[in-house]
Amino acid sequence: MHRTLLTSLTAAALLALPQAAAAQSNTCAARDRVVEHLSDRFGEARQSIGLATGNRVVEMFASPETGTWTLVMTTPDGRSCIIGAGQAWERLDEEVTPAGQPA
């Protein structure tokens, strides 16, 4: 499950990069400020983490109570940018099928 989730997060982050670049001036700050904002305003906590190209860290924050979610990418210098957000988040505990095996 973790590999599938991280792969999905990385793919989502890469697809969102053009939009994130356009909106970067409004959605980037020091990581601790971004995390504090997501916690205080939306009740979101980190649900998963992965490593993207360029040593950038991709994290999914979400709130099981409200269903909101936010995808954050942090650069090696500690600057975090919100690259996606939405609603209706839910935790899934799906089993990962080993490569080469039928699903």
Q: pLDDT of 32-91, one tens digit each?
A: 999 999 999 999 999 999 999 999 999 999 999 999 999 999 999 999 999 999 999 988
Residue 26 pLDDT grade (very low, low, confident, very high; cuts 50, 70, 90):
low
How far apart are alpha carbons 94 and 66 in whole angstroms?
A: 22
Closest CA to 6 of 96, 101, 102: 96
Higher-confidence residue of 23 and 53: namely 53
Tell me the β-bridge partners of 86.
Answer: 69
Rounded mean pLDDT, 90-98: 83
DSSP-based three-state secondary structure for 55? helix
In this structure, which long-range contacts are made by residues 25-34, counting pairs with CB atoms below 8 Å and at least 24 apart in sequence?
Answer: 27/81, 27/82, 27/83, 28/79, 28/80, 28/81, 28/82, 29/79, 29/80, 30/78, 30/79, 30/80, 31/72, 31/74, 31/78, 31/79, 31/80, 33/80, 34/72, 34/80, 34/82
CA 84, chain centre distance (Å): 7
- pLDDT greater than 50 at residue 5: no
